[in-house]
Chains A and B, each alone.
Chain A
């Protein structure tokens, strides 16, 4: 009978503390009944017979899970809300990290690679904190109110559903937050002298000439419009004709500004001594122009894409 006691103890270890004694007691009674029936048929039981009965009952963990099925960390009723909250909060944390890292980069001698590393590591820390806090909050909600559906799910109306459209009409949160991060980055880069001390300003590594910086300043309302546009997308989450039109106008304006920057000569304000022996100034200027032309391809691609989409919606 030592095998039976070991088996029951192994099952009990997999059970919550509050249910161990009762389930163990019941399991013992059930096993004993089975062994009694077997011994009536075969006479005295050998250890191998007992082992065969226990083996047939299943692994202790499986038996424990049959008595107390494992509960998911987040109850299925909350899963959709959990995922939306997670994406939304991580998106906002990404924006805040862009602000933080970009400000640090512009006010120091940090290289671009270090800036990317600071952005990535800072965001990873935020992700860990955000993910843990949100998961813990939803775990607590799942424990105390497992079947609760959100207010939104209870009061929905079929008439409020968006029109059935092609797959691309749904705007993903990832796209919205990427755009928002780009606009915020742009605004910080353009207006960074406003919040820097004279000392920090002296140390700063702003590379554009005054005339190129002036063009960027004139373009900053575009970044603000972009933020408004992204917030509108965040609210609607569905491409409409008016939304596509505003996106086309916005991206076309960005293409124009970037091409204007390309045309401004000289584009970069460089310290000749710092770059001596590394790269020639003409090469750097040419690389910056090429980089800007490539950058212009992205909004240009969106313009073409949105025009095609607009024609499909017509």
Chain B
């Protein structure tokens, strides 16, 4: 497999998970840059070009509330999980845990077969 193929598949694999990570991180209000830092500290590295448009899309779908606040001499747009977003996050978390358990056993048996 070429590096390009691997990168493409990694991107596809991460795409859905990033939504879950962003929703989970926005239980507290964050502005774009602080959210990125928090995700990085949590071990999820995401570039600006992906993160900022993603937050806007989630806000447009009503999953995030947003407001402009003044701070440190400059305005920033803060985002936080909305009521709808919180409900969706609960459902997605359940889904993720089931999927993770199923994948864990599948990947575990695949690893045993390979070794």
Contact = CB atoms under 8 A, between A and B. Distances in A.
Given A34-B33, A37-B33, A67-B56, A29 B49 contact: no
Nearest to A19: B56
Interface residues of B, number: 15
Interface stretch (A56-64, A209-217, A272-280, A281-289): A56-64
A63 B34 CA distance: 20
Interface string A201-226: 00000000000000000000000000
A29 B53 contact: no
Interface of A: 23, 25-27, 29-30, 32-34, 36-37, 57-58, 62-63, 66-67
Contact of B49 (A32, A34, A63): A63
Nearest to B52: A30
Interface string B25-44: 00000011110000000000
Per DSSP, are chain A's interface residues mostly helix, strand or loop, or mixed? helix
Contacts of B48: 30, 34, 57
Interface in B39-73: 48-50, 52-53, 56, 72
Contact of A67 (B32, B33, B53): B53
Contacts of A27: 52
B77 A26 contact: yes
A25 B67 CA distance: 13
Given A26-B32, A33-B33, A67 B52 contact: yes
Interface of B: 31-34, 48-50, 52-53, 56, 72, 74-77
B32 A30 contact: yes
Contacts of A36: 72
A29 B50 contact: no
Contacts of B50: 66
A25 B75 CA distance: 9
A253 B26 CA distance: 77
Nearest to B50: A66
